[in-house]
Homo-oligomer: A and B are copies of this chain.
Amino acid sequence: MTTTLITNIASLVTNDPAQGDGTPLGLLTDAAVVLDGEKIAWVGPADKAPAADETYDAEGRAAIPGFVDSHSHLVFAGDRTQEFNARMSGRPYSAGGIRTTVAATRAATDEELEANVTHYLAEALRQGTTTFETKSGYGLTTRDEARALRIAARHTDEVTFLGAHIVPPDHADDPAAYVELVTGEMLDACAPHARWIDVFCEKGAFDGDQARAILTAGKAKGLHPRIHANQLSYGPGVQLAVELDAASADHCTHLTDADVDALAQGDTVATLLPGAEFSTRAEWPDARRLLDAGATVALSTDCNPGSSFTSSMPFCIALAVRDMGMTPDEAIWSATAGGARALRRTDIGVIREGARADLALLDAPSHVHLAYRPGVPLVGEVWQRGSRRVTAER
């Protein structure tokens, strides 16, 4: 196996509190990293670095762990440009919402869906995302949900069954029958292809009892729960997530004090998705309140063609700092280590001996620039599983 020394890193976010300045970011200056195959073999001061087969000069740039995007919806077809344009232009538009994407996704070929996933993943990788979770949820039939999961599983281990995204039009008259389908035949067909099960717990989608039934059925089939919770209104989602030991409660825009307490006490991560609030002009989730209460916060893109069509983790960091009360350090931790917690992973989101060799070099001297220079594509080189996958045009 070839070893690679990346040296002359002005500032390195390790997310290992045993390193550097003793903060959660474990910040090292004048640092180096040695990669050995798909793993990190050594991390420390550049002047103490061991020899390696190859050397890469970071030229005084900053490095961070690759982003862990723990919430995306990439198996879809079509886009919703006209709906977005009308909404932002104040023009009436009979928006089909998720249903529009469901119809397009059902009509698409496997090859079209696969090409879409590949396209958006490459786009995310160029922006520093080395791990992503993605979901079904635009099929909503046994065949189409299982197909989406099979396609997703070719690209990531973090695959989530979201048959309970909405009640599809073909079941509008009998939601109970749809819940029965999701927890029965559809779950049987989907469980082998997924690690996670998710529910959109919201007025107009699935209520607390339905969500509990679906997640409990999923757990019985070996899937681990996560929940779309408290996005558009107050509701039972967050507390249900903690009760069921879900890895993550996602959105968390409308929280009572009891919701915040539950997150602070439990092991469920609060995953905030500022791209959704940005693109729908909605109220921001209050990250500061969650952090001050002691909850663990992750940041993710929610990349989907309806409510948040961004694949940019740096953009989410900039929003979290500007509008959600996070410091730059907290936002970068949440977009890397926080995402790893939301996926219950210890091998990613961290630059430490034995961890996966996933890291991004920034065209900037510090990680703070991800918030300080909003919108600027600062991610230069990206290593994923030890391979250099992106090379900056400099």
**Chain A residues within CB distance 8 Å of chain B:** 79, 81, 84-85, 88-90, 123, 126-127, 275, 278-279, 281, 309-312, 314-316, 318, 321-322, 327-329, 363, 365-366, 368-369, 371-377, 390-391, 393
Contact = CB atoms under 8 A, between A and B. Distances in A.
Which A-B residue pairs are the 3 nearest by beta carbons? A315-B375, A312-B375, A89-B327
A88 B275 contact: no
B89 A328 contact: yes
Contacts of A374: 275, 278-279, 310, 312, 315
Contact of A311 (B126, B312, B314, B376): B376
Contacts of A79: 365, 372
5 contacts: A81-B365, A81-B372, A85-B372, A89-B329, A281-B322
B373 A309 contact: yes
A309 B371 CA distance: 10
Given A85-B328, A368-B84, A310 B373 contact: yes
A126 B393 CA distance: 9
Given A278-B322, A366-B81, A309 B372 contact: yes
A359 to B, nearest CB: 19
Given A281-B322, A310-B374, A391-B393, 15 more contacts: A81-B366, A84-B328, A84-B368, A85-B327, A85-B372, A88-B321, A89-B327, A89-B329, A127-B376, A275-B375, A278-B322, A279-B374, A311-B373, A312-B374, A393-B393
Nearest to A305: B372
A123 B376 contact: yes
Contacts of A366: 81
A176 to B, nearest CB: 36
Nearest to A288: B90
A312 B123 contact: no
Nearest to A321: B88
Contacts of A278: 318, 322, 374
Contacts of A368: 81, 84-85
Contacts of A372: 79, 81, 84-85, 279, 309
A84 B377 CA distance: 19
Nearest to A91: B327
A88 B373 CA distance: 13
A375 B302 CA distance: 13
A101 to B, nearest CB: 14
A380 to B, nearest CB: 11
Contacts of A318: 278, 375
Contacts of A363: 123
A340 to B, nearest CB: 22
Nearest to A363: B123
Contact of A390 (B84, B369, B371, B393): B393
A91 to B, nearest CB: 8
Nearest to A88: B321
B123 A375 contact: no
Contacts of A309: 369, 372-373, 376
A81 to B, nearest CB: 5
